[in-house]
Amino acid sequence: MPIDQPTTLIATVKPLPVPTTGRDIDLRVKVTAPVSGTNLPVIVFSHGNAWSMDGYGPLVDRWAGAGFVVVQPTHLDSRRHGIGFDDPRFGTIWRVRIADLHAVLDHLDELLDQARAAGLRASVDHDRIAVVGHSWGGQTAGTLLGARVLDADGTPGEDFSHPAVRAGALIAATGTGDTLTPFAVEHLPFMRPDYSTMTTPALVVAGGRDQSAMSTRGPDWFTDAYHLSPAPKSLLTIVEGHHTLGGVAGEQVAETTDEDPARVALVADAVSAYLLDAFDLDGTAWKALSERAVPGDGAYHVEHR
């Protein structure tokens, strides 16, 4: 079935440098946005493990087409940096990822000035900024919404929330860490989020067939961010969705096990509709998507709390 495409003219500017400290590889980002527009909402997007600013085009292009300015950093775990599990730097990358998002937000005006100098004429609304992430990026984004990371004794770590962030979306985000596999315990001990302090409004997106190799639990693991965090939250469950939810990182990507462009479009449109509603810009699309889930074909369902 053909997928409706946004008709808004968009453009991309990359790579733009972002000032950072304590990072031995420079932080670069990509900005994708409508070529013009005023007071546009912002999405800062955190990619999944090993990806980069150049991934997730099917999501990012639809978000920009819906009127968002999207900023994508390349984190240190990107394949292009060659930092594997056995690299001594890997154990601290989860912290650097969070610092990357903070750096983007703290230098957002400078980034947009660079983007405008390269041809983008859009301006943004600093009161309507969201963070979104997929997989590891979901946990990263969640910390800016207020989630914390538990240490080995179960003590919550520091607060990484950012005052500029008003809403967010976590796509296939890590669940709680009490059922991690031995591999995850050894290499990914930070995969122990505490969602009890994640107070910022957020949409959680989960696949009904997403079985993680990092947890002994089933697909419900990816709904913890919804069930264990304070309201207001919404949960979109895509019944047949796997971890890449139809291929959110790109078309015909090798790791995608449930290739479905319509599923990817659903994820993208649900995130943009939710954020437009959360920002009090337009609630019609989010209301319609939620209502269609009830009498529809059972492809997805939506919960609120």
Q: What confidence tens digit (pLDDT) does each residue in 239-264 have?
A: 999 999 999 999 989 899 999 999 99
Give the helix/strand (H/E) hosting 142.
helix 136-144
Rounded to 5 degrees, what angle do the CA atoms 146, 48, 72 make? 80
Instruction: Determine the Cα–Cα distance for residues 112 and 270; give it in Å rounded to an integer.
Output: 26
Percent of the chain with pLDDT over 70: 99
Look-up of token digits 């959680």: 204
CA distance 81 to 85: 12
pLDDT surpasses 60 at 2 = no
Please give the Cα distance from 131 to 200 (Å, whole number). 11
- Among 121-130, 185-194, 209-218, 294-303, the minimum mean pLDDT is found in 294-303
- pTM for the whole structure: 0.96
Beta bridge partners of 180: 215
Q: Which residue has the higher pLDDT, 121 or 216?
A: 216
The SS3 assignment for 269 reads helix
| CA distance linking residue 232 with residue 228, whole number of Å | 12
Average pLDDT of every residue of the chain? 94
pLDDT, one tens digit per residue, over 187-241 is 899 999 999 999 999 999 999 999 999 999 999 999 999 999 999 999 999 999 9
Q: At what angle do helices 284-292 and 261-278 cross, to 10 degrees?
A: 130
153 CB contacts (<8 Å, ≥6 apart)? none
CA distance 59 to 222: 20
| Tokens 């963070």 sit on residue | 131
